[in-house]
């Protein structure tokens, strides 16, 4: 443990209540991204346990995961459920957009 760490990507986060999600996503898609193919949007709806993942392709945000949502498998655990298991994150490779 220890050593220096250098962020390998920029991460923006937000929490929106009662937002027009289509307008938010349209705005994100129209922003002047330096590496548009590297953009990922992770969006979690209320009472869900997983994210939807969209990527910018041909100036349009397209949802890539989940391809077919399974609503029953996508419910958040009960608030008293303390048996959470999260996988370990593996280190990511730096991607050049040149």
Is the model's pLDDT at 76 over the cut of 60?
no
pLDDT at 44: 87
Arithmetic mean of pLDDT over the chain: 76
The closest of 9, 85, 8, 11 to 42, measured between CA atoms, is 11
pLDDT tens, residue by residue, 28-73: 999 999 999 999 999 988 888 888 999 999 989 999 988 765 655 5
- Confidence at 91, pLDDT banded by 50, 70, 90: very low
Structure pTM? 0.63
DSSP-derived letter for residue 46 is T
pLDDT tens, residue by residue, 9-33: 888 888 888 889 899 999 999 999 9
């Amino acid at each position: 443990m220890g050593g220096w760490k250098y962020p390998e990507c920029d991460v923006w986060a937000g929490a929106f209540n009662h937002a027009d999600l289509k307008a938010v996503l349209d705005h994100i898609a129209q922003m002047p991204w330096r590496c548009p193919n590297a953009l990922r949007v992770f969006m979690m709806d209320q009472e869900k346990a997983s994210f939807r993942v969209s990527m910018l392709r041909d100036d349009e945000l397209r949802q890539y995961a989940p391809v077919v949502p399974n609503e029953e498998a996508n419910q958040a655990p009960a608030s008293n459920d303390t048996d959470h298991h999260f996988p370990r994150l593996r280190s990511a490779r730096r991607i050049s957009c040149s």
